[in-house]
Amino acid sequence: MLAQGGAHAQVDATRQHAFADYLQRVGEGAKRVYPFVGEDSILIPHDMCCNGPTMADLIEEVYGTLSSIVEYAARFAYIIECAILTPLNENVDAFNKLINDKYAFTKHDGSPAQHCMYYSTNSVVHGEQHGIYPIEFLNTLSFFGRTTT
């Protein structure tokens, strides 16, 4: 039994590594472009495509069995294995709302569980905080989170 679990973990690690490599190639512009389909169009692997035309179809395909999982830790483990990627924040907000509405966690009595919403910001609130990081340091950062020399 342990060997089977180890083999399953190895398959998952291999799939995750291949997916990460694919995303890196897309981000670096190294994927083959198909301009006759559309400007800067790339081929997405079949197993990453949704069969339905709506956001709800995509959510169902990615998170489909989540509603049948009632234990918090199991739901958490399931959710961290799922992802829907989109380049626009407005789409992220729409997906998050639909997913939260559909799969909101409830208590054993059926009432909604308490949840928190976290926000991020791209501006400084207080005037003096703008000088925390020198411009020279900020110029060394890249989009991939690595520093350049």
* Greater pLDDT, 96 or 113: 96
Give per-residue pLDDT as tens, 66-86: 888 878 888 888 888 888 888
- The radius of gyration of the chain from alpha carbons, rounded to an integer in Å, stands at 20
pLDDT above 70 for 129: no
pLDDT at residue 50 in the model: 80
pLDDT at residue 2 in the model: 32
Is 43 in contact with 34 (CB distance < 8 Å)?
A: yes
Residue boundaries of the structural domains of the chain = 50-115
What is the value of pTM for the model shown? 0.49
